[in-house]
Amino acid sequence: MKVAVVGATGMVGTIMIKLLEERNFPVSELLLVASEKSVGKELLFKGKAIKIMGLETAVSKKPDIAIFSAGGSTSLEWAPKFAEIGTTVIDNSSAWRMDPSKKLVVPEINASQLTKEDKIIANPNCSTIQMVMALAPLHKKYQMKRVVVSTYQSVSGTGIKAVNQLENEIKGIKSEMAYPYPIHKNALPHCDVFEANGYTKEEMKLAREPQKILDDSAFSITATAVRIPTAGGHSESVNVAFENDFDLNDIRRMLHETPGITVQDNPDTNTYPMPIYANGKDDVFVGRIRRDETQKNTLNMWIVSDNLRKGAATNAIQIAEYLVEQGLV
């Protein structure tokens, strides 16, 4: 199994390499791909130094799978070139997510839709992944009508420049700004760029992607996405109105039985999800599960996950694992 990681030197790319090793993915040859300025540098995989190559070289080597985390413009240009030579591309950017001809996949929910013909597979937005992981089993039983989500997103979701901005501000060092304002001791209701409707791109991803993943447009989602000064892990306050009534114990049981979810929900012991504990883990953590007492058939939840792992790298590797297990590559 020849595997290429495109964007190997980035925050998500380095975790992808780590996960391929951690999860013992069947790699016979690993191709590490990055921009021209990184070509020739080396990264370690299973104790062995591997030289970084450019995209042209990687295409010529015809990998079985190429996992992209190199930005939308790179994916739009290069994913089709890999697909043309028979490589299955798993893309972590937003480039292909809403393309009706491409599958948008969270393995625990809809990997069974994948076929050998799917040569470009989209990885959803990090905030979307953790939310649909919790919503999918509940939607199946109670039928969602409307979701209101507010996010509290880590600076790591913006990239290394934002992480550096936060660290430098904590130290009192003036440096390059990833955001239009300081992030230390602050909260920015501004994730990604603003669209004509006044929502940000991040908020519209949260509104649109779950409908595609769950193959259902009968429910609606409205979002407010906020950047906060945490180094890793996204948190979400989620309010869900269902068609049908529910029992809170059933909700907890269903979530507890869902692979990839850990329920942390005991107010008596101050047990609830927090990014500081989700950091470095692959599960989605759900807590503060309670009925909305202002509206019938409505639930409140607090959902936390490591945005670089399940929100990006882990989900992509899980897609690759499914493809291998099912003989689709």
Residue 301 bridge partners (DSSP): 238
- The label of the residue with tokens 């039985």 reads 257
Ramachandran region of residue 46, left (φ > 0), alpha (ψ -120 to 50) or beta? left
Task: Return contacts of 32-39, CB within 8 angstroms, 24+ apart.
Answer: 32/4, 32/5, 32/8, 33/4, 33/5, 33/6, 33/7, 33/8, 33/57, 33/58, 33/66, 33/70, 34/6, 34/7, 34/8, 34/9, 34/10, 34/70, 35/70, 38/8, 38/9
Distance in angstroms (rounded) separating the CA atoms of residues 183 and 253: 38
Candidates 139, 190, 234, 256; catalytic one: 234
Sheet of strand 284-291, all strands in order from the earlier edge strand to the far edge = 220-227, 144-153, 234-242, 298-305, 284-291, 261-263
Per the annotation, the verdict on 184 as an active-site residue is no
The three-class DSSP label of residue 74 is helix
Give the sign of the dihedral formed by CA 136, CA 141, CA 145, CA 151.
negative
Distance in angstroms (rounded) separating the CA atoms of residues 83 and 77: 11
**No. of H helices and E strands in the chain?**
10, 14
Residue 143 DSSP symbol: -
32-56 as b/e, with b when 16 or more CB fall inside 10 Å?
bbbeeebeeeebebeeeebebbebe
Contact 279, 320 (CB under 8 A): no
Token duo for residue 69: 């985390």
Per the annotation, the verdict on 234 as an active-site residue is yes
Candidates 126, 139, 190, 191; catalytic one: 126
- Catalytic site positions: 126, 234
